[in-house]
Amino acid sequence: MSTAFESPAERPTLERDVVIVGAGPAGLMAAYTLKKAGKSVAVVEARERVGGRTWNAKVKDMNGTEHFIEIGGQWISPDQTRLSSLVEELGLTTFKRYRDGKNVYRAPDNTRHTYTGEALPVSDATNAEMEKLTDLLNAKVDQMDVARPWKMPDAAELDTISFRAWLQQHSDDQEAIDNISMSIASGMLTKPSHTFSALQALLMAASAGSFSNLVDEDFILDERVVGGMQSVSLKLAQYVGDDVILGSPVRQLNWATPDESTADALNNISSDVRNGVPRNGAPGQVTAYADSVIVKAKNVVLAVPPNLYHRIQYVPPLPREQMIAHQHISMGLVIKVHAVYETPFWREKGLSGTGFGGGHVAPEVYDNTNYGPNSVNAKEGEDPHGVLVSFISDVHAERMWALSEEERKQEILAELAAYLGEEAMHPIAFYLSDMAAEEWTRGAYATSYDLGGLSRWGHLQNEPTGPIYYACSDIAAEGYQHVDGAIRQGEIAANSILEQLG
Ligand SMILES: Cc1cc2nc3c(=O)[nH]c(=O)nc-3n(C[C@H](O)[C@H](O)[C@H](O)COP(=O)(O)OP(=O)(O)OC[C@H]3O[C@@H](n4cnc5c(N)ncnc54)[C@H](O)[C@@H]3O)c2cc1C
């Protein structure tokens, strides 16, 4: 079989033990692990940079001063132990999120309440409902093996009901439902809570250890990497060296010999591997055709988000179950808002900068002030400028992108002001992360299954297909949809290959 990509262009051909598609944290961790074990690798990356959905950048304020921002993933929580140990191994350090002072809660009627501690300042009745739902979710999570959610006794049943409908089955308190749903729907999967299942929601909670962990912002948003989360990928890439090839999307993967017995002249189907191949995971003969290079290898690690699997042409086409499964996984949508101020004005008012309001356009806001080398003038300690970060998800994000730039900015700033006061209307720099518009991501934060997809297809997501291994945060167990999960996935894929290669 031959295509335009396979044929004429002048591209060098490399021969390696393993070719890795994607230089995000998962792909680079796979390469780092394989190279440390003495195997030869090539990491082929579509973008002109490494790091994937982690990305250090700078935004200019009205005076021309540049401020550091993290366009993608940034926080680490205490359960994300593989990422933490890697950060240490790479000689990087972390700092804590600012959390002194009172938090703000915006009730459904937009009244503003300050509070300390974990419990939101809601009525006793709503609080009791939230506690009941939290206990129910924690109990369900306890029954789940996070690596095999589809094995849970009532997995199929939990996968047929949307998370919102499940919450409504157990409560009729709208405020309680909005607040509980926020932490998984807008807060994590970044999809409306009627579009994914209760099982998918439980997986998100289980990957953080419990639902209580997931809703505890001091746990889940604990630390940031000094120098930014992309530094993890930059350090890994430094180790891999010239074997990281940038700006070169992989367009085609030749990976198996078609099974002659499958040819079906009547249906006009030529021989392929629709029913699978023998010895999944074993080394084979792989050729990856990228824009600037061809790589021949024994195994390939597909370290891209599952919504992009179909961007590669597989020769022969993947087995039918893979082709079907991949169509049931899609990206969420979220805008990460960065607003820089002359000072962290909220702190002077005794506020932490943390705010929650389930159901509002911006349901969460945090102090994201820079530190150390990322502060202006790269001073020691904290930057004197204050930075707020907020997130606008799913249908609200769609509506924001439909507005004019100025209307969008004003509406978002008004949301921040509703939490922290009128001063929030006057940032010196303002920036919106837009990974949904990036060809090599197409959404944020990550991908998840549609209703019923996880119980039906989840068991396939980490199974190799012939010499093809899959590695991405979006198919992780611990650290699911997070950098920790990506790191774990890259390492697991590399170790499995090492076992096979001997
Ligand atoms: C706005 C935002 C905020 C987030 N916040 C957090 C957070 O606070 N904490 C946290 O832990 N996680 C967070 N995440 C999630 C985290 O960034 C991801 O889980 C992580 O980056 C996934 O790593 P990965 O290697 O699996 O995939 P990616 O980072 O997506 O890397 C995949 C790479 O593959 C490349 N690629 C795709 N197709 C091809 C192709 N055909 N050929 C070659 N290369 C290809 C892409 O360009 C990309 O570089 C956030 C994500 C976003 C977008």
415 and 426 inside one domain: yes
Q: What is the CATH number of the domain that holds 284?
A: 3.50.50.60
Pocket test of ligand 1: the residue of 473, 475, 478 to mutate, having most ligand atoms within 8 Å of its CB, is 473
Q: Does residue 194 lie within any of the structural domains? A: no
Nearest to 127 by CA among 75, 179, 167, 169: 179
Q: How many domains does the chain have?
A: 2
Amino acid at 259: D
**Which of ligand 1's atoms lies nearest the C-alpha of 49?**
49
388 and 417 inside one domain: yes
Distant-in-sequence contacts of 129-134, Cβ < 8 A, 24+ apart: 129/171, 129/173, 129/176, 130/176, 130/179, 130/180, 132/170, 132/171, 133/167, 133/170, 133/171, 133/176, 133/177, 133/180, 134/180, 134/211, 134/212, 134/215
The pLDDT confidence band at residue 375, using thresholds 50, 70 and 90, is confident
* Encoded tokens for 115: 């509070």
Distance CA 159, CA 271 (A): 35
Distance (Å) from CA 245 to ligand 1 centroid: 17
Q: Does residue 421 lie within any of the structural domains? A: yes
Distance (Å) from CA 2 to ligand 1 centroid: 31
What is the residue range of 109's domain?
55-76+96-118+216-223+333-444
Q: What is the CATH number of the domain that holds 372?
A: 3.90.660.10
As a 3-state breakdown, the chain gives helix, strand, coil percent values, each rounded to 5, of 40, 20, 40
244 and 347 inside one domain: no
Distance CA 198, CA 448 (A): 12
237 and 306 inside one domain: yes
Distance (Å) from CA 167 to ligand 1 centroid: 30
Q: Does residue 124 lie within any of the structural domains? A: no
Nearest to 293 by CA among 242, 237, 241, 235: 242
* HSE of 15, CA atoms in CB hemisphere, 13 A: 1
415 and 470 inside one domain: no
Distance between the two ends of the chain, CA-based, in angstroms? Answer: 32
Q: Residues 289, 250, 232, 341: is their CA dihedral positive or negative?
A: positive
Amino acid at 497: I
Distance CA 320, CA 342 (A): 56
The pLDDT confidence band at residue 4, using thresholds 50, 70 and 90, is very low
Residue 218 pLDDT: 84
pLDDT tens digit sequence for 284-316: 999 999 999 999 999 999 999 999 999 999 999
Ligand 1 site residues, Cβ closer than 6 angstroms:
21-27, 44-47, 52-54, 72-75, 249-250, 303-305, 308, 311-312, 336, 433, 435, 440-441, 444-446, 472-473, 481-484, 486
Residue 435 has pLDDT above 50, yes or no: yes
More reliable by pLDDT, 222 or 4: 222
Distance CA 305, CA 183 (A): 22
Strand order in the sheet with 299-302: 244-245, 41-44, 18-21, 299-302, 468-470
Q: Does residue 140 lie within any of the structural domains? A: no
71 and 30 inside one domain: no
* Encoded tokens for 334: 């979220």
305 and 245 inside one domain: yes
Distance (Å) from CA 53 to ligand 1 centroid: 3
Mean pLDDT for the chain overall: 95
Q: Are 456 and 205 in contact (CB under 8 A)?
A: no
438 and 470 inside one domain: no
Share above pLDDT 70 across residues of the chain, in percent, rounded to a whole number: 98
pLDDT tens digit sequence for 388-418: 999 999 999 999 999 999 999 999 999 999 9
Residue 2 has pLDDT above 60, yes or no: no
pLDDT tens digit sequence for 309-358: 999 999 999 999 999 999 999 999 999 999 999 999 999 999 999 999 98
The pLDDT confidence band at residue 272, using thresholds 50, 70 and 90, is very high
302 and 342 inside one domain: no
* HSE of 426, CA atoms in CB hemisphere, 13 A: 8
Residue 3 pLDDT: 39
Q: Does residue 339 lie within any of the structural domains? A: yes
Q: Does residue 486 lie within any of the structural domains? A: yes
Contacts of 492 (CB under 8 A, 6+ apart): 462, 471
**Atom 21 of ligand 1, nearest CA residue:** 53
313 and 235 inside one domain: yes
340 and 419 inside one domain: yes
**Atom 22 of ligand 1, nearest CA residue:** 473
Residue 217 pLDDT: 84
Q: Does residue 149 lie within any of the structural domains? A: no
**Which of ligand 1's atoms lies nearest the C-alpha of 474?**
26
The pLDDT confidence band at residue 269, using thresholds 50, 70 and 90, is confident
61 and 38 inside one domain: no
Q: Does residue 190 lie within any of the structural domains? A: no
CB burial class (10 A; 0-12, 13-18, 19+) of residue 428? middle
Pocket test of ligand 1: the residue of 53, 293, 433 to mutate, having most ligand atoms within 8 Å of its CB, is 53
Distance (Å) from CA 52 to ligand 1 centroid: 4
Helices (H), 216-303: 217-220, 230-240
Nearest to 53 by CA among 495, 468, 493, 447: 447
**Which of ligand 1's atoms lies nearest the C-alpha of 485?**
19
Pocket test of ligand 1: the residue of 304, 438, 489 to mutate, having most ligand atoms within 8 Å of its CB, is 304
Nearest to 477 by CA among 184, 195, 79: 79
Share above pLDDT 90 across residues of the chain, in percent, rounded to a whole number: 92
Residue 132 has pLDDT above 60, yes or no: yes
The pLDDT confidence band at residue 1, using thresholds 50, 70 and 90, is very low
Residue 9 pLDDT: 58
Segment 243-266 shows an average pLDDT of 95
Pocket test of ligand 1: the residue of 217, 245, 483, 487 to mutate, having most ligand atoms within 8 Å of its CB, is 483
